[in-house]
Amino acid sequence: MKKIAFFICLGVAALTTSCSDVLEEEVYGQPTAQEMLANQENVARVVGQAYADVKWLHDHWGYWGINSLSSDECINPVRQPGNDWNDDGYWKGFNDQSWTPNDLSFEFVWQYSNSGAVLCNKILQQLETEVKGNLEDDIYNRFVAELKCLRSYYYYTLFDAFGRIPYLESYSAENVPQSEPYEVWAKLVNTLEEVGPMLPKANVPSKAANYGRATHGMAYALLARLYLNAQSYGVTPANAKAAGVAGINSEADFYTKCVKACDEVINSKVYKIEPDFFTNFLIHNEVSEENIFVIVEDGNANFDYRDVAGKMANKLRITMLSLNYKHQQAWNLLEKPWNGFSATPSFLKLYEYQVDRRGPCDSIKGTKDEGKWGWFLGPVYGEDGNILIMDDKGNLEARMTSNVTSLEEATPNDGARLLKYEVGKGSPNKFCDNDFVLFRYADVLYMKAEAILRGGEGDLAALLQDSEFQLIRSRAGVTPYASLDLDELLDERGREFAWENIRRRDLIRYNKFSQGEWTFKPVREKYLDWFPIPRKMIETSGGLWTQNDGYSTDE
């Protein structure tokens, strides 16, 4: 079980009780709040509370769900017989991009991303009033930089989804008006440019000490992502300059800035491409030299949730969402999988079958395939050697296939299931104990390649020949690139980063999200590149917040 001292305070009710409230309880003979906050370890615990809301973002009802299901990488059809996963057509709305402002997932994303950012601001205020002067300046500044970086990630998820969001850099319990997308982008960029140099590299003093925390590498990886996607957010050189971002005089400057941010991560010499792709997704993936920022998980059954439809949880349930019911018997799982999410058939075609290890296993061997693969296909065998799964008519000898017959009438065995996160076979834990990956070094290298291809200053030939860059593909069993174009890079990013919160924005950047066609999804209108502001949030904002263009205000 992965535990680090930094997260000791995450068990307290940090979301409803301020840190100062916790520390100001005076007991005779005990240190005061001011005395406690003069201790670096205690301050670290207070800062650690700001990470609590990150654990809601990878749920299928949250940011990960709306990103994955709305893109071409993921589908969750209604499975017959039994009408499993129907939920009144809720998931279909994300698969074919027919969502509405009333969808509950939008409320969840707005709630948790915003509350996480607000909590960061609240703790920043506390550090300013109760800690500043009690710690050495460099230590104090590091904690401030960490909170600002984490706040930027919370706001990034909110911004990436909705564009026009209420952005604050100081604590307030009151709602504030929405900012325009280019204004939010500029504030995020300027903050990360400020705090990046102040944050420790992940190996100082040690990777164990910084694990699951905002670091130099995380700040610059996020900064690179913002520069690479600037134009997809509607940012232009003119409005970037007007919003106070320095050094942007042409569109090419966005990409040169992206290259420089990537080089900050590369030149730190902290990260390496793992020789085995699957090391990044092991149950004990804290050993990965490639992962930059993760959500630290604990797979036991004790968890928090919201008692609403679907019960959004702060536990990682990614393999439970996808595996077949019968995988429980085959792999001795404590929890019966839910047999829902699978790969879109068109997405699975990106992989070279039985060559690319990131693709599906042998569709004949199924659970008897002892190799490591990114997706599951084929039969599920029991201990007696017989196939456990059935077809939709109850006949044995069924196999899970890459095909999905319909969004409304799929069979229980339609669709390849995610396998790249190691499954806890025989584990006593109900949920996944793998830490959920948010940023990887492979993404940094691929962002740099794309930024150069789009006009940024850099040496693409040297990057393609770099051994680390080549290892991304060679470890998967496919040939490293001798040359590369943008279209191929989009396909490769799909193969490499499936279900990692990246694909939707990639497709928007390539103008292939709303405008693209894939299984069960027609060409849609461009306004769908932004999700709708949740109707409930508009109604409770006191008139401050308005709907994004294109969406009906009556829905």
**How confident is the prediction for the chain on average, in pLDDT?**
91
Q: State mean pLDDT over 427-443.
A: 96
Q: How far apart are CA 279 and CA 52, in angstroms?
A: 25
Give the residues across from 105 on adjacent strands. Answer: none
CA angle 301, 305, 308 (to 5 degrees): 135
What phi and psi, each to the nearest 5 degrees, are found at residue 305? -155, 170
Q: State mean pLDDT over 373-381.
A: 96
C-beta of residue 91 within 8 angstroms of C-beta of residue 74: no
3-state SS assignment for residue 75: strand
What phi and psi, each to the nearest 5 degrees, are found at residue 500? -115, 25
pLDDT at 15: 30
Q: State mean pLDDT over 277-289.
A: 98
Q: 470 or 11, which is more confident?
A: 470
Which of 346, 345, 377, 344 has its CA nearest to residue 360? 377
What's the one-letter identity of residue 216?
A: H
> What is the β-pairing status of strands 417-418 and 375-376?
antiparallel
List Cβ<8 Å contacts ≥24 apart for 356-360. 356/476, 356/477, 356/478, 356/495, 357/277, 357/278, 357/475, 357/476, 357/477, 358/277, 358/420, 358/476, 358/495, 358/496, 358/498, 359/495, 360/402, 360/416
pLDDT at 555: 60
What angle separates helix 467-474 from helix 441-453, to the nearest 10 degrees? 110
Q: How far apart are CA 369 and CA 377, in angstroms?
A: 10
Instruction: Determine if residue 154 is left, alpha or beta; phi over 0 gives left, psi from -120 to 50 gives alpha, anything else beta.
Output: alpha
Residues with Cβ < 8 Å from 282, sequence gap 6 or more?
288, 422, 434
Residue 42 clears pLDDT 70, i.e. is over it: yes
Q: State mean pLDDT over 324-338.
A: 94
Q: State mean pLDDT over 140-154.
A: 98
114, 206, 473 from 269: Cα distances, Å: 33, 14, 20
Q: Which of 37-41, 267-271, 354-358, 549-553 has the lowest mean pLDDT?
A: 37-41
Residue 528 clears pLDDT 90, i.e. is over it: yes
Q: How far apart are CA 330 and CA 318, in angstroms?
A: 18
CA atoms within 13 A on the CB side of 110: 25
Confidence grade of residue 312 (pLDDT, cut at 50, 70, 90): confident
Please classify residue 364 by burial: count the beta carbons closer than 10 Å to its beta carbon, then call 0-12 exposed, 13-18 middle and 19+ buried. exposed
Q: Which of 113-122, 359-368, 387-396 has the lowest mean pLDDT?
A: 387-396
Q: Which of 82-86, 148-152, 304-308 has the lowest mean pLDDT?
A: 304-308
Q: How far apart are CA 513 and CA 523, in angstroms?
A: 9
Instruction: Tell me, yes or no, if the pTM score tops 0.85.
Output: yes
Residue 358 clears pLDDT 50, i.e. is over it: yes
pLDDT at 305: 63
Residue 206 in tokens: 């040690």
pLDDT at 13: 30
Q: State mean pLDDT over 541-554.
A: 92
Q: State mean pLDDT over 175-198.
A: 97
Confidence grade of residue 29 (pLDDT, cut at 50, 70, 90): very low
Q: How far apart are CA 213 and CA 190, in angstroms?
A: 20
Residue 17 clears pLDDT 60, i.e. is over it: no
Residue 27 clears pLDDT 90, i.e. is over it: no
What phi and psi, each to the nearest 5 degrees, are found at residue 265? -70, -45
Confidence grade of residue 390 (pLDDT, cut at 50, 70, 90): confident
Residue 38 clears pLDDT 80, i.e. is over it: no
pLDDT at 30: 52
Q: State mean pLDDT over 61-87.
A: 95
Q: How far apart are CA 267 and CA 260, in angstroms?
A: 10
Q: State mean pLDDT over 92-100.
A: 97
pLDDT at 164: 98
What's the one-letter identity of residue 256?
A: T
List pLDDT tens digits, range 241-260: 999 999 999 999 999 999 99
Whose tokens are 């990260």? That residue is 271
Three-class secondary structure assignment of 451-503: HHHCCCCCCHHHHHHCHHHHHHHHCCCCCCCCCCCHHHHHHHHHHHCCCCCCH
For residue 522, the surrounding DSSP H or E stretch is none
Q: State mean pLDDT over 72-92.
A: 94
